[in-house]
Amino acid sequence: MPIKKCIAALGVGLIVCSAALSFRSLSAAQHEKGEEAGVSKAVAHLLATSGSSVKGKVTFTKDGSTIHVHAEISGLTPGEHGFHVHEYGVWSEDGMASGGHFNPTGAPHAGPDAKKRHVGDMGNIAANANGNATLDMDDSHLSFHGANSIIGRGVVVHEKADDLKSAPAGNAGARLAVGVVGIAKP
């Protein structure tokens, strides 16, 4: 390859790398500024995956050192269903685009009361005989800023109950609905 082409390729490579680092820095800064900017509430609207009729709304509200989680979900079969924050805020027909459980610390899978657990491990949500479920819980692992920020992540409701121990995701089965966590007006 002639020297001019090598220099041009190197220049383009440097521009691409600089742009990628700038985007990464901007994203990190937005997560770090979550608390500074006064983010106190976030919401995820759950959309059914293919073949499912599950839908709902999950609200996250900062309350001192915890995040209060309030969920109202319908279209479920009666019983318990795994309920988690996943890596990516992306809906897809099978829900798999949301990735695995959000786990920035590399902790083992566990229940919501465990000291060491995936940040996204919120346990199960129980549906009544009509297929409706409501959940209220306070969680000290979730955050709106820093490494544990759930902003832009996915909330997933699963087909089966999370057994709260099996790696990597508690044997909770298919993904029935996915929502993206976004900043909400307080």
Q: Which position among 81, 109, 117, 145 bears the catalytic label?
A: 109
121 tagged catalytic: yes
109 tagged catalytic: yes
| 57 and 23 assigned to the same domain | no
* Cα 87 to Cα 142: distance, rounded to the nearest angstrom: 13
| 85 and 176 assigned to the same domain | yes
* Residue 134 β-bridge partners: 72
Q: What angle do CA 34, 36, 37 make, to 5 degrees?
A: 65
pLDDT reading at 84 higher than 70: yes
| 85 and 123 assigned to the same domain | yes
| 27 and 55 assigned to the same domain | no
| 51 and 138 assigned to the same domain | yes
158 tagged catalytic: yes
pLDDT, residue 4, reads 59
Average pLDDT over residues 139-161: 94
Average pLDDT over residues 43-55: 97
175 tagged catalytic: yes
153 tagged catalytic: no
101 tagged catalytic: yes
Percent of the chain's residues with pLDDT above 90: 57
| 95 and 157 assigned to the same domain | yes
| 28 and 67 assigned to the same domain | no
Counted domains in the chain: 2
| 25 and 102 assigned to the same domain | no
pLDDT, residue 7, reads 52
Q: Which position among 31, 81, 121, 139 bears the catalytic label?
A: 121
The rounded Cα 137 to chain-centroid distance in angstroms is 16
Q: Which position among 81, 117, 118, 145 bears the catalytic label?
A: 118
pLDDT, residue 24, reads 43
pLDDT reading at 149 higher than 80: yes
pLDDT reading at 186 higher than 60: yes
| 175 and 160 assigned to the same domain | yes
What is the domain-level CATH number for residue 157? 2.60.40.200
Average pLDDT over the chain reads 83
Name the DSSP class of 61. E
Average pLDDT over residues 31-49: 77
Task: Find tokens 């992540």 and name the residue.
Answer: 153
| 118 and 30 assigned to the same domain | no
Q: What angle do CA 81, 56, 153 make, to 5 degrees?
A: 80
Q: Which position among 86, 117, 141, 153 bears the catalytic label?
A: 86
84 tagged catalytic: yes
pLDDT reading at 11 higher than 70: no
31 tagged catalytic: no
More confident residue, 58 or 103: 58
The pLDDT-based confidence of 5 (bands split at 50, 70, 90) is: low
| 151 and 59 assigned to the same domain | yes
Instruction: Quote the domain boundaries for residue 33.
Output: 1-37
**Buried/exposed code over 115-145 (b: 16+ C-beta within 10 A; e: otherwise):** eebbbbbbbbbbbeeeeebebebebebbbbb
Structure tokens at 181: 């966590």
pLDDT, residue 72, reads 98
The pLDDT-based confidence of 115 (bands split at 50, 70, 90) is: confident
DSSP characters over 104-134: TT-PPP--TT-SSS-TTEEEEEEE-TTS-EE
pLDDT, residue 107, reads 84
| 174 and 145 assigned to the same domain | yes
